[in-house]
Amino acid sequence: MTDSTAKPQMFDLALMRPALVDAFKKLTPRTQLRNPVMFCVYAGSVLTTVLWCAALAGQAEAPAGFILVVTLWLWFTVYFANFAEALAEGRSKAQAASLRSAKKDVMAKKLSAPEAKAAVRVMAASDLRRGDIVLIETGDTIPADGEVIEGVASVDESAITGESAPVIRESGGDFSSVTGGTRLLSDWLVVRVTANPGEAFLDRMIAMVEGAKRQKTPNEIALTILLVALSVVLLLATATLLPFSMFAVQAAGAGYVVTITALVALLVCLIPTTIGGLLSAIGVAGMSRMMQANVIATSGRAVEAAGDVDVLLLDKTGTITLGNRQASAFVSAPGVSETTLADAAQLSSLADETPEGRSIVVLAKQRFDLRQRDMASLEATFLAFSAQSRMSGVDLPGREIRKGAADAVKQYVETHGGRFPAEVSEAVSAIARRGSTPLVVAEKHGAAAQVLGVIELKDVVKGGIRERFAELRQMGIKTIMVTGDNRLTAAAIAAEAGVDDFLAEATPEAKLATIRAHQAAGRLVAMTGDGTNDAPALAQADVAVAMNTGTQAAREAGNMVDLDSNPTKLIEIVEIGKQMLMTRGSLTTFSIANDVAKYFAVIPAAFAATYPQLNALNVMHLATPASAILSAVIFNALIIVLLIPLALKGVRYRPLGAARLLRRNLLVYGLGGLVVPFIGIKLVDLVLVGLGWV
């Protein structure tokens, strides 16, 4: 996302002003009913408002000024809870507004046939439908989501990803998907439209980041049920106090009946209003943090699942390793000079534009001063690598050179009457054990073929990745490396990187079977993918992160899209998910714990006149019963405001196990929830006394 809106400041005035207005708009019964805990406060506010009006009319159960102050602070409590939610939603809406600015209804060049030379009809992009074919030329805005069926071009996707560097899009493979709203920088493309108006990726992104449309997650629903049950129990208990107080006053012949205003204040202070007021904001802020990481989550459920994940499937190339394997050594076969091997390897790689192929050419030039040849004079026919043969090479007059996987080259050599030396097999195994990739080079003169040696391709493990995996292990998360390499190479890389397990020679079926096996054992699995062949596994995974540069099939199968197309982002996604769960748990602990202090403030104030013995519970030595009730109500409202930054920013993530996290939460937020209210309520009491308001 662009810097202007991707990470809005938490209390930016541009966000606070609309949030202040939206908080007022949420003061409707229909809106409040969505949050049962805060609806209790809302109903109490309405009741005390009626009591204040009755007091003004001369039907007072308590001084009108006292009822008014309690009523105002009860309304403030509801308003502050609304403000927390509105502020969290405002951050998401600001991000959505940034995306909408990239959504324009441009003109499209619709083709009559799937080829660049077909007849063109210019029409509005909003009139395009799935299956239409369009031509996009240099400078054009891509009118709709689609798949490239012809052409190669560079595309500016900064409007969506925030990344200024252009990306290459071409037909076939995993980089054929284009997104509506991006712009073509060079050349031309013929694109088949894959989404109807309103169903495009950009439309889905806008809908995803709109906090107001966020669905409650299963854990959030479960916590809400718990909070409602606790509130109902406390409501019933509070309701019994009025007849009890009447009976007690009559039996004792002393004291006075507790007022309804005091009972409402007691109820509001005892039910878990702190977490009730912040619960929705925590969920919205979790999705917003995902967006700040340039990840679009399809729902809060996906974010929450990321926090519960205990198995990660990670691609080796580009995630655990740097991805670009480089030629590092030539190991010649018996009777073959290293120069001969390097010469043949370079010849077979002259037309290979992959990083591996270019590195072979460079290594031969650096080690043996072998310069690139005149391609025209070679009379060469180059063979591109294919998944079927698993070899590439070059055909020269009277000579064939092949390089590829050891077993494929072995079959080629033996088919043409040659022998695969044991020394070469040992070299292949040794290279694989080091975690490198062996490429065997062979040459055929006439009818006979011989092995020339092995090229070692080294893929470097990313710095710091081992420590990241150690952190995940502390959190109880198992890491599995997925690679197409043979088992020896995979085992060496896995040992160097510090992953818990690996899946070698991985196929789409093997990935799917691995995910299902872990899910059958009761685990939640996360994985990343970008290709069409990843779609089945992405659809099966609990958290499926599709790369934005990937195919349409992969993006539709995932429940998250990484706009940066960085496979390592999966680790960050898990951390954000866990941070959201930690924040919810920490504030729930704090909320329930701080209710204890309010018992010591409100109950003695409400009943000490009837039962003087209850004054022993006034451990805070609050000045008067009215001051005690007001101090508790005011603190109850202000603590929501003070915790809004923590709800939006999230509790600091720490890679700890569940048991250690529980102990830490109980110590910091449980003990803090007990101590802070005693201090806060006493300070409010001192202020009220100092101002002479009680």
Residues annotated as catalytic (active site), given as ranges: 315
Burial label for 387, CB within 10 Å (0-12, 13-18, 19+), is: exposed
Kindly give the interhelix angle for 260-270 and 218-252, rounded to the nearest 10 degrees: 150
CA distance 650 to 424: 56
Residue 11 carries which DSSP code? T
Are the C-beta atoms of 428 and 450 separated by less than 8 Å? no
- Other CB atoms closer than 10 Å to residue 453's CB: what's the count? 25
* Run of H or E residues at 183: strand 183-184
Q: For 498-548, where are the alpha helices, taking DSSP H only?
A: 508-520, 535-540
Are the C-beta atoms of 451 and 441 separated by less than 8 Å? yes
> Can you give the length of the chain in residues?
694
Q: Which two tokens stand for residue 123?
A: 């029409």
Q: How far is CA 145 from CA 114, 176, 357, 396, in A?
A: 16, 11, 33, 44
Token pair 């990481």 is at which residue? 293
Nearest 5°: CA angle at 689, between 630 and 618? 60
Q: Which two tokens stand for residue 574?
A: 């898990």
Token pair 């070679």 is at which residue? 378
Nearest 5°: CA angle at 569, between 568 and 570? 90
Nearest 5°: CA angle at 208, between 553 and 11? 145
Phi, psi of 360 (to 5 degrees): -65, -45
Q: Which two tokens stand for residue 2?
A: 């662009």
Q: Encode burial over 334-360: b for 16+ CB neighbours within 10 A, e otherwise.
A: eebeeebbbbbbbbbbbbbeeebbbbb
Output the DSSP codes for 78-121: HHHHHHHHHHHHHHHHHHHHHHHTT----EEEEESSSSTTS-EE
CA distance 272 to 232: 11
Q: How many CA atoms lie within 13 A of 98 on its CB side?
A: 22
Are the C-beta atoms of 384 and 367 separated by less than 8 Å? no
Are the C-beta atoms of 277 and 543 separated by less than 8 Å? no
